[in-house]
A = this chain, B = another copy of it.
Amino acid sequence: MSRSFAAGTTTKLALIVRGDLKMGKGKTAAQCAHAAVMCYQNAAQGSEAQNAILKRWCRMGQPKIVLRVDSYEQLNGLQLQAEQANLIAALVRDAGRTQLDAGTATVLGLGPANAIELDKLVAHLKLL
């Protein structure tokens, strides 16, 4: 029996933070939480394959990893690559009420996705 999404496949969610914005710990946490919820919603409302990955990710305890980039260009490049690879990509833009200008892109959520597919895009990034 052949399946495109094997039973033992590991899944994860990557939260990619712009380190160049120098957000504080609370601000960073809020923006990452926002990205994670957006990714969850996108997956829940997405294709059957995305639903299946979401369920697997939840059963695995929702593994997530927080990474950093150093510019908007890097974040934007990853978003485009993810979209081309048909991965869920949710970009958080700050409402601008506190530390940042309104509309500043802060965090990109990628996944939940097959960890191998995701690593093709993010394995070179450093942990935040």
Indicate how many identical chains form the complex.
Answer: 2
- Majority SS at the chain A contact face: helix
Interface residues of A, CB < 8 Å — how many? 29
In the complex, whether A127 has a CB less than 8 A from a CB of chain B is yes
8 tightest A-B CB contacts, nearest first:
A26-B128, A33-B36, A29-B32, A26-B66, A29-B29, A32-B33, A33-B33, A29-B66
A17 to B27, CA, bound (A): 13
A29 to B26, CA, bound (A): 8
A37 to B26, CA, bound (A): 17
A33 to B26, CA, bound (A): 12
Q: Which residues of B sit under 8 angstroms from A62, Cβ to Cβ?
A: 34, 37
